[in-house]
Amino acid sequence: MSVAVTDPLERSETAHDHGIPFGEAVKVWARIASLSFGGPAGQIAVMHRILVDEKRWIGEERFLHALNYCMLLPGPEAQQLAAYIGWLLHKTKGGLVAGALFVLPGFLAILALSFLYVLLGASPLVEGLFFGLKAAVLAVVIQAVVRVGSRALRNNVMRGVAAAAFVAIFFLDAPFPLIVLAAALGGYVGGRLGLSAFKGGGGHGAAGGNVVHDRDTALGEGLPDHARPNLAWSLKITAALLVLWLAPVAAMLALLGPDDVFSRIATFFSQMAVVTFGGAYAVLAYVAQEAVDTYGWLKPGEMLDGLGLAESTPGPLIMVTQFVGFLAAFRESGSLHPLVAATLGAILTTWVTFVPCFLWIFAGAPFVETLRGNRALSGALGAITAAVVGVILNLALWFAIHTLFGEVREVGIAGARFDVPVLASLNIPALLLAAGAAIAVFRFKAGMIPVLFACAGLGAAYVLLR
């Protein structure tokens, strides 16, 4: 345990050996990865319980400060939080191990399930399992709208931002990056002007209970030497990660051309890694908009299948993108065997999605202290989160239309075009399953995993017995 230091200046410059063996840390990160179900809120709660409450490796203040920084970044904040804390404890190797282990179990699980999906998806059992998963996922996405909205829409201005984002993406088909940029600029200006509507709120919140202060933890209040700003180190690590990220993209564009499926996967998901603020559900809206409508890599129902896989396996929900890359390469395999191409597509998607996450952490973490109390950045984050509520609402409506109805038609009004369901094509069993999942989630507070498995089982029983 550390000894409290009373002088703030002395505290900021004093650090000690925390005494946490790297091997023990690897085991703990593997344990956290195996328990990381339930989306970012659940994953962050698991990390807080183990690292702060149980192990007391870091304190509440440092944990929340790291979380606030990660929430400013594009990409999955839970995975980035793991990389940040891993780096704080054991330098670059600690960040790499913590961040990679957070992804690895989910990657392997979804890869295996993707093989089953393309090989056995036509069988009644597998068809039924995914029929049930789709209904459950619809309830989970609606829950995400409520959960994020209750935290982000603190006033009428934020509600207006959410409404504008929904109208822009659902009725006007506005690109998701443009929506994020507009919200960020508005929030930045509002925060800089000190407008009360743009004052930052919390993030996913940590677990309740007694507060574990930094001074009472293994890391203590001091700043480790490697965590001090070092421009030379930051430039080196940034250059290395940029090469690891963008060199494969450039090579594919040069060797295969921009129209090859691997080039498109590399460029699209690299772009996604830069603009996807707001978590996995915002990513899904962007991916659905592009992968389904623009590239034609998969169908709307298959997006739901992919989310069902990501929801029911450990790791970030953004791993659903791996399923998209798998199917895209499987269907446009060229001279390769479809399964070989699909595997390469899944690996490539995961690579260009997560290498940038390490870049944001390693390049920015040593300078994160400059973000404390920054009103403009806080305002931008709040506005982005509010816009994401509108985007997730669009996703929920899009999923509902394609889950509960067999047919949709496009309608145009005053220059806006959007899909509406054909009421006669309503799928009653899907409606009943989705309603049951919603009741379980909202009325009885059932956990996500039991609801997913129960609906999958009921879906399988329905298809096998009909």
What does 122-160 look like in DSSP terms, one character per residue?
TSHHHHHHHHHHHHHHHHHHHHHHHHHHHHH--SHHHHH
In this prediction, residues 342-362 reach a mean pLDDT of 95
Q: Which residues contact 127 (CB under 8 A, 6 or more apart)?
A: 121, 463
The rounded distance, in Å, linking the Cα atoms of 158 and 150 is: 11
- Which residue's entry shows tokens 């390769």? 336
Confidence class of residue 442 from pLDDT cuts 50, 70 and 90? very high
Higher pLDDT, 175 or 322: 322
pLDDT of residue 336: 96
30-39, 54-63, 202-211, 307-316: lowest mean pLDDT where?
202-211
CB 355 within 8 A of CB 245: yes
CB 305 within 8 A of CB 272: no
Whole-number mean pLDDT of the chain? 85
Exposed, middle or buried by CB within 10 Å (0-12, 13-18, 19+), for 421?
A: middle
CB 345 within 8 A of CB 332: no
CB burial string 247-282: b at 16+ within 10 A, e below: ebbeebbeeeeeeebbbbbbbbbbebbebbbbbbbb
pLDDT of residue 303: 85
Q: Is the pLDDT of residue 8 over 50?
A: no
212-221, 235-244, 363-372: lowest mean pLDDT where?
363-372
Q: Is the pLDDT of residue 118 over 90?
A: yes
- Tokens for 179, please give them: 């929506």
In this prediction, residues 72-89 reach a mean pLDDT of 89
In this prediction, residues 378-396 reach a mean pLDDT of 83
- The highest-confidence range among 74-83, 229-238, 314-323, 453-462, by mean pLDDT, is 453-462
Higher pLDDT, 463 or 10: 463
- Tokens for 264, please give them: 């498109």
In this prediction, residues 402-424 reach a mean pLDDT of 87
The rounded distance, in Å, linking the Cα atoms of 42 and 54 is: 16
pLDDT of residue 7: 35
Q: Is the pLDDT of residue 426 over 90?
A: yes
DSSP secondary-structure letter at 334? Answer: T
Q: Which residues contact 406 (CB under 8 A, 6 or more apart)?
A: 422, 425, 426, 427
34-43, 134-143, 160-169, 352-361: lowest mean pLDDT where?
34-43
Beta strands in 173-250 (DSSP E): none
* Residue 282 main-chain phi, psi, to 5 deg: -65, -40
Beta strands in 296-442 (DSSP E): 408-413, 416-421
- To the nearest whole percent, how much of the chain has pLDDT over 70? 90
Q: Is the pLDDT of residue 403 over 90?
A: no
66-70, 76-80, 164-168, 277-281: lowest mean pLDDT where?
277-281
* Residue 45 main-chain phi, psi, to 5 deg: -65, -40
- To the nearest whole percent, how much of the chain has pLDDT over 90? 43
Higher pLDDT, 222 or 272: 272
Q: Helix, strand, coil: what percent of the chain each, to 5? A: 75, 5, 25
CB 130 within 8 A of CB 430: no
Q: Is the pLDDT of residue 350 over 70?
A: yes
Of 299, 317, 316, the C-alpha closest to 308 is 317
Amino acid at site 44: I
Q: Is the pLDDT of residue 205 over 50?
A: no
